[in-house]
Structure 1
Amino acid sequence: MLRHVTATRYVTPLREGGSLPGLMEADDLGTYVVKFRGAGQGRKTLVAEVVVGELARALGLPVPELVTAQVDKAMAPSEPDEEVQELLRASHGLNLGMDFLPGALDFDPGAFTAEPEFAGRVLWFDALTGNVDRSWRNPNMLYWHGEPQLIDHGATLIFHHNWPGARDWAGRPYNAADHLLIGFGPEVAAADAALAPLVTEELLTEVLAKVPDDWLEDEPGFLSTGIVREAYVAALTGRIAAREAWLPGLVEAALNRGNDRVVPERGRNRPEWLKHLPGDAT
């Protein structure tokens, strides 16, 4: 399970996106960006954050720590903003926190660089999980202490908004045209060779076990939270099995767009953290 904290103070809203996350302090003296179960996008955003964030971590991709954050509706009256008051009342209970990275910058492809190996792994992973939200318009990647950090995965796994269509989602092509890292010569085929064998049913089962029952209860069409978990595992296993339907297009897009800008020579100034990614043979 994810580490658990209790929120002690609401610091400030982060008015970005539709989920209205907030910066909160917790009883472990840490500060977290909290996404709320009572926001308009609901609990499924929190589920996607955990499943995709923890799967990324298991594959060696850099993601800030995720925690479950207990929020008490009694905090609401002390907030001057009526919208925040309403959100806190609607989010009484278990919410999702992401470790706050002070001083982090949005990853600007014009200011920072990314090696083709790392770019390929992120692009492949976003295609696997159907991430429509890591573009140059909305990077959802931070640069902190000289390293990238992947954030905001609530817009992934869109099949869980329409479970009857989950089987069709498995082979759906991924549009990489506006992806944040498409211009860095992403090595997609190498990423697939390194990462695809790691995405097993066993790993996915372990990842789904991190999602609290509370966020999976009362899912229409499912008799138990265990069956909901199995459905997520089946959908992602099916996505891996259907790579022949979406991987060639992804490789082609990377080859066509990968020379749009000058990228560093392979191995030059190679960050230490990149050497320890799973499947890394260099």
Structure 2
Amino acid sequence: MPIPDLSLRTVDVTRYVTPLREGGSLPGLVEADDGFLYVVKFRGAGQGLKALIAELIVGELARALGLHMPELVFIRLDEAFGRTEPDEEIQDLLRFSTGLNLALHYLSGAITYDPLVNTIEPRLASQIVWLDCLTLNVDRTARNTNMLMWHRELWLIDHGAALYVHHTGPDWAQNTRRPFPQVKDHVLLPQASELEAVDAASRALLTSDVLQAILALVPDEWLTSDQSTTLSAAEQRQNYVRFLEARLSASETFVQEAQHARKALI
């Protein structure tokens, strides 16, 4: 099977609108040269380019699974924006983020998912829990759901904290069977009653060709800026592919872990 042809558009920031201070990495709302508003994840934020890499990979994995994700785009930031910003913290962030960043299409009018108000079907809940177990996404809790309700549908955002093992050193990709005890805090775990059925369907969708196509989207520059490794961009892409393939091949492990955590809750 040929590798799917995936691509992300590239736009330029024309106006910095406002910081979104509820985000730990201080994302910003900007207008781009295509006339749309975007939420930018800046390369100069605390977790650096690896957070952008995780954002891109997991966002596109979600899309491949048929989950709602705002469009991701590459977005270029000119150094001039840092010089004109009066807030020193934001000025530094913009200055360190000159160049290529990642952004999500802004969902105007969307509201934060509230587990006390919004009801999610078991299959959708199971799909999201399964994805977050696969990618070790620690950031989908009741305190910080990273989900939005928009036009009566659930949309996923903010995956920069996923794949956190790639922060642990050059051999990070070898620990593929890492447990995921944080699943016990997942906001959708109580509704996720179809994990086994979702496991089979999701593994069928995330083929090696799909993984290769998603990793091909990651810019070389983002991969080679890591001074802690001598691996080429291509070698690092293969590390991510192998890591995800190994997680998929042993998915029954994290599915069982999630099921045990769910039983303890209900």
TM-score strictly above 0.5: yes
Take 1:50 and 1:10, find their aligned partners in 2: how far apart are those partners?
Answer: 22
Is contact 2:184-2:258 (8 Å) kept?
Answer: no
Pick the aligned partner of 1:78 from 63, 81, 84. 84
d(CA) in 1 for partners of 2:24 and 2:116?
27
- Where does residue 117 of structure 1 map in the other structure? 123
Q: What residue in structure 2 maps to residue 199 of structure 1?
A: 206
Q: Let me know the Cα RMSD of the aligned residues.
A: 1.4
Residue of structure 2 equivalent to 1:188: 195
Structure 2 unaligned residues grouped into runs of 5+: 1-6
Among 216, 219, 243, which residue is 1:235 paired with?
243
CA distance in 1, matches of 2:55, 2:177: 19
In structure 1, distance between residues paired with 2:232 and 2:57: 18
Cα displacement (A) at 1:250: 1.4
Query: 1:40 matched to which residue of 2?
Result: 46
Pick from 130, 143, 151: which aligns with 2:157?
151
SS of aligned partner of 1:17: coil
Q: Secondary structure at the match of 1:251?
A: helix
* 1:16 to 2:22 alignment: yes
Query: Residue 255 of structure 1: CA displacement?
Result: 4.3
Q: 2:136, 2:180 within 8 Å by CA — same for their partners in 1? A: no
Report sequence identity in percent: 51
**Counterpart position of 2:4:** none
* Structure-1 residue corresponding to 2:229: 221
Q: Which secondary structure does the structure 2 equivalent of 1:125 belong to?
A: helix
Superposed displacement of residue 94, structure 1: 0.2
Q: Select between 139-148 and 159-168 the one with higher mean Cα deviation.
A: 159-168
CA distance in 2, matches of 1:92, 1:136: 34
Q: Write out the 4+ residue segments of structure 1 that deviate beyond 4 Å after TM superposition.
A: none
| Residues 216 and 5 (structure 1), Cα distance of their counterparts in 2 relative to 1, 3 Å cut | same
Distance of 1:165 and 1:72 partners within structure 2: 33
After alignment, is 211-220 or 40-49 more displaced?
211-220
TM-score by length of 1: 0.87
3-state SS of the aligned residue for 2:229? coil
Tell me if the contact between 1:171 and 1:242 (Cα under 8 Å) persists in the aligned partners.
no
Instruction: Find the aligned partners of 2:156 and 2:19 in 1 and give their Cα distance.
Output: 21
Query: How many residue pairs get matched?
Result: 258
Provide, for residues 7-60 of structure 1, a one-character-per-residue CA deviation record: whole Å limited to 9, x for no partner: 001000001233110000000000000011111110000000000001110110
Q: Which amino acid aligns with 1:222?
A: T
Give 1:148 shift. Answer: 0.5
Query: Contact 1:173/1:245 (CA < 8 Å) preserved in 2?
Result: no
Q: Aligned-pair distance for 1:252?
A: 2.7
1:185 positional shift: 4.3
Match of 1:131 in 2: 137
Q: 1:158 to 1:54 in 2, by over 3 A?
A: same
Cα deviation code 1:190-211 (max 9, x no counterpart): 1101101222221110000111
Distance in 2 of aligned mates of 1:201 and 1:193? 15
The answer on whether the counterparts of 1:170 and 1:236 sit within 8 Å (CA) in structure 2 is no
Report the alpha carbon displacement of residue 167 of structure 1 after superposing the two structures with TM: 2.0
Corresponding residue of 2:3: none
The residue aligned with 1:56 is 62
Q: Shift in Å at residue 254 of structure 1?
A: 3.1
- The question of whether the paired residues in 2 share the 8 Å contact of 1:174 and 1:246 is answered with no
Q: Work out which of the residue numbers 182, 201, 209 in structure 2 matches 1:175.
A: 182
Q: Take 2:42 and 2:90, find their aligned partners in 1: how far apart are those partners?
A: 11
Please tell me whether the aligned partners of residues 64 and 206 of structure 2 are also in contact (alpha carbons under 8 angstroms): no
Measure how far apart 1:183 and its partner are: 2.2
Structure 1 unaligned regions, length at least 5: 261-282
User: 1:164 maps to which residue?
Assistant: 171
Report the AA paired with residue 184 of structure 1.
Answer: Q
The SS at the match of 1:154 is coil
